[in-house]
Structure formats: C-alpha cells, structure tokens
Chain A
C-alpha cells in the first residue's frame, strides 16, 4: 500500500488555481522533497494531504480520506505546518503532558531525551524561546511520535544555517527509518538535496518533475562547453543553456556521459540547477 496516493488532485481558491491535476504516489520509506517557488501550491498540497482542506480528485493517505478522517489519520501522521504554530502561552512541560495525554503513540521519554540535548528547559514558555528553539521543540515533540508519515511545510523557514543543518541531521539520524515516509516542502532546494530520496518540482499548481534522486543523478548531466564546441553540443539537444565565466553550461537529459565527455567537463547538476532549468524556463 502506498503511503500517499493522489489522482487528479485539484484545488481552486476563487479564481486562483492552486492545484491542477496532481498525480502522486509515495511509497513507504521515501523522503520526498516538494520543491517549488512561493505560491506554487506546496502548502495547499500538504494541507490536503494532512486533512486541513478539502479538494477535488482522489486522495488516500494511509488508505484513509484525510478530509473526512483527519482526527483518526493524525494517529499515524504528524505534521509541522509552519515554523511557528506552537501555542505561545504554553510551557514546555504542558506541551509534553498534553501530547502524551492525547496521542497514544507519543513517547514522552524520547521527547525529553531530544530536549535534553538542547537548551530548552521544561519551565520555558514558548513565547520565551527563539525561533530556532521553537522549531527544535516542535521537532522533538513530533519525532517522539511513532507515526508512519511526517509532513513538514517549510520547517526551517527563517532559521540560520547551523539550525537547518542540525534539523535535517536529527531528522535523518534519530527519526527516519524504512517504515516511515517524510514529505518536506521547501523553496530552499540546497538545504535538503542530500536528505531526499525523491523530488517533486511544483510549478503553478502542476507537477513539473517527479523522480527519484537516483534517477535524477543518473539522467541529468551538465557540461561546460567551450565556444567552438557549442554547435556539436547543441546537436545533442540540451534542455538548457546558461552562460558562465569562461563558457557555456549545457544541461542534458538522458544523454550518454561518454558522448558528453568529448565536449568538456561533465558533472551532475545540483537540484537547484535542475530546478531552475525545469521550472525557471518560461
């Protein structure tokens, strides 16, 4: 059974099309990055998946309809919808007690273990914590829940680089296993490239690209081409060209590396480069 199965997902707000015929199938154990510019529909898609909004089309999450079974689904799904959603009046111990009280799969000792590695104390109020600490706290709560799907929407927005690195390291080392699926939406591609097993580029409510990272790495090649080689390189149908200091960088999809090696230095493009070529093209 796929963790998430979506067919023809659509959502409009007034006249704005937020999601346009999205098809998606996520198997257990994948870490999927949903990458798109602001307003591309990332949040709408994730909100539909965790049952916050209704939408058109067919959507099953862990074999349930998220909109009609949100409270039941939340036994198996965790989400962090935003960088700052913890109630500001709450003290840390109150949050621990409350989540332990309402969530049967919450392991309180585990959460306290995570917190003991931070400078967050039980008596702290959320409003007294810095933005990064609030995210740490939220992550500690969520990672202590034995869920099957974790959904993160821009979890590191507004955090500094050190926090972001720790955030994803913690997620990978202390939380992720092959039973769990993680869905991360962000517009900061470089932050999560090394974490993902799959990527999905979202652009104006549509899926612009959806592949496993392995596939992306084997299919796409970037070549720095000298001016005299340009015509030969162009004959191999690059999907994108860009000028850099000292030459032109061409991006190829599914062209033999040996054929490219003759043209210049071949390398695997970063997700950010790929994103710009796929989504950035008018």
Chain B
C-alpha cells in the first residue's frame, strides 16, 4: 500500500537485490527425478524385491542343475535351448509384467496424489514449471523404468549364471555348453530392445493417457483410465454390433512391428540379430502417430496441472 512511505526506507535499499539466477535444466531434471524416487519407492523396490524372490526360488533348482543340464544336452538343439534357458526367459517375461504393473500404478497416481495430499501447493511454490514436472514424470515409465528393470533383470540373470556355473564346475561339468545356451549378453540385449521398443515407445500413448487421466480425475484415476475405452467398446457393440474400436486397440497394442525375435519366445533363432529390425520399427507410421497422440495427452496434462488446485 503506497499511502505512506517511511523516510528511513531508502537507506535499507543498500542491500543488494538478488541477481538473476536460474537452475540449470539438467539439475532441475535431476532433482525432479530424485523426488519421484523418494516419493515412489516402489519404482525400484518392486523390481528389486521381485528379483530377490526369483533368485531365492531358482536357487532350489540350481542345486540339482547338473542333472538337468546333462539331460538337456542330450536333447536336440531347439529343445535343449528351451530347457536350459527356461528360467532366464521366465525371469525376463515376469520382469516385463512387473514393469507394466509398476508403470501403470505410477502413472495413475503421478499427477493425482499431489492434489489429494495438497502438496501441489508446495511444489508450485518452487521455481519448477508444470512442463518440467510433467515431462520428468513421463520420463519415468518411458525411459527410467525400462532401463531400471532391464538393469535389475540383467544383474539377476548374471547372478544366476554365476551360481549355475559354480554348481556345474563343482560337479566337474563343462560350463561352455551351458553358457552358449543361456547366452547372457545376447538375451540381455534382446530384453533391452524389447523393453524399449514394446514397453516404452510403442506403449507411449497408454502412459500419456494415464497421465492425462491422473491430472484430470479427482479420485479413482485407475477406474477413469479404463472406463472410457471399455464403455466405447461396449456401446459400439450394443448399438452397431461391431467391434472396430476394441479390435483397433487390440491391433495397436498387442502386435508390435519390428520385434519379431522376442514376440515368439522359445523359438530363439541361431542369429537373432537378423530378426531385430529397428529401422522397420522406426519406419512404422503407427509409432509416430502414437508419439503425436502421446504428446497431445501430455500437453493436456500440463495444462490441467496448471489449472488444477488441490482436490
């Protein structure tokens, strides 16, 4: 209020007004991600706990591994591989499931919980933009989680190979045949490729949609996320007796082009690299349409976060 100015006020202005300073973008991203890991410890605890459980469970079979390997080595190559690599493939498959679950639950909560617990008022009192917040949150299911789950799975598989090799060596068996079938690095590469292409890039619109619902819904975001697609499919069936929408979703998300090598588990070819076709995958128009849709969903989520206060 400018009704009165103190005569003494002037002298206090000697104190320097803070200069224009800003936080480097990378530093902002780092701390925004750090915050997500503090808040959502399940992001790493779930895959870690699962890996520990799997190691424990597989350790029982590892004790008798030499018998299994002797049997398997007598089989024809394809079945031999299936037999020996089975636990590794199972681990990879289950890791994908964990990735999906953790990702979906993270996304639906990501922009809703901060409004529910009113902490959004605290986050917004800091010089972090809504865009930065939403993008760092989006990078969790799209980049961070796939890489994290891969790293944990790969480390687990490495431990399994080490344990198996120890048992085989103690029993005086040759480990090279076992290693050849397990092919840790090749299957690790396939898993990483699969996680990034199928679970991150190809599924990006799903995560974008979940973020949008999370930013919009006041409560039960998970329900709101699944209700509209189900309702549209049901109404279409009811009114037109067709299932275009459902089959569109099915086609879009069940089949991923350019990832043939991993979509047929067990039938691991001799040269799997030839089956990985990143160029064909990247050249798929649907992929880019998916990116565009994701961008729209995320832009809407940013806008909603700007307008929405606490619930």
Contacts and interface: CB of A to CB of B under 8 A. Distances in A.
B18 A148 contact: yes
Interface residues of B, number: 42
A26 B5 CA distance: 11
Interface stretch (A98-106, A186-194, A272-280): A98-106
B129 to A, nearest CB: 4
Contacts of B17: 148, 179
Task: Give the interface size bracket for A toward B.
Answer: 35 or more
A218 B6 CA distance: 15
Contacts of B22: 75, 104
B76 interface: no
Contacts of A215: 3-4
A26 B120 CA distance: 27
B248 interface: no
A179 to B, nearest CB: 5
Given A82-B121, A89-B39, A104-B21, A179 B127 contact: no
B35 to A, nearest CB: 6
A133 to B, nearest CB: 16
Interface in A186-244: 198, 200, 210-212, 214-215
A108 B129 CA distance: 22
Interface in A131-170: 138, 146, 148
Interface of A: 2, 24-30, 32, 47, 50-53, 70-76, 78-82, 84-91, 94, 97-99, 101-105, 138, 146, 148, 177-179, 198, 200, 210-212, 214-215
Given A102-B23, A211-B3, 18 more contacts: A29-B12, A32-B1, A52-B121, A74-B125, A79-B125, A81-B125, A84-B118, A85-B120, A85-B125, A85-B310, A87-B39, A89-B39, A101-B27, A104-B23, A105-B21, A177-B12, A198-B1, A215-B3
Interface of B: 1-6, 9, 12-13, 15, 17-18, 21-23, 27-28, 30-32, 34-35, 38-39, 114, 117-122, 124-130, 132, 307, 309-310
